[in-house]
Amino acid sequence: MKICITLIAAVFAFSPLYVGADENHEILEKVMKEGLKGDDCPLAKVLDGKASEKETKDLATLIGTMKGTKAPVGDQGEYDKKVEELIAAINAIAEGDDSNDALDRLDNASNCKACHSDHKPKKN
């Protein structure tokens, strides 16, 4: 009986970790699918100079949801730096900086392979 109670207590104690992991995954998945993936995604429109002010601000808001997420794999500090740079780069453009330097910064910060190589779990 003590073992059952201990197991049940452990499940309840660690269940927030699973919820957090699911929420983290959902945030990253939403940002990738709705903002960064595809030839006509909001990111592509921003980089091509074809996004409206609203679309740019909406993308900045979406990307901003990545702040505080956990690295699926790899070094958390390096992941945080990449996320912070991506947020800063899109925020600069959303605040009106449409210079080539700002667009190049966003292009570099949104490099999929740079993040996926270090932080995307490998499929078995």
Residue 35 reports pLDDT greater than 60: yes
Environment class of residue 87 by beta-carbon count within 10 Å: exposed (0-12), middle (13-18) or buried (19+)?
A: middle
Parse the chain into domains and list their residue ranges: 2-119
* DSSP string of 11-28, one letter each residue: HHHHHHHHHHHHHHHHHH
Q: Which residues, in sequence order, are CB contacts of 43 under 8 Å at separation 6+?
A: 35, 36, 59, 106, 110
116 vs 123, higher pLDDT? 116
Residue 22 reports pLDDT greater than 50: yes
Q: Which residues, in sequence order, are CB contacts of 91 under 8 Å at separation 6+?
A: 60, 64
Residue 6 reports pLDDT greater than 90: no
Residue 65 reports pLDDT greater than 60: yes
Q: What is the mean pLDDT of residues 100-122?
A: 94
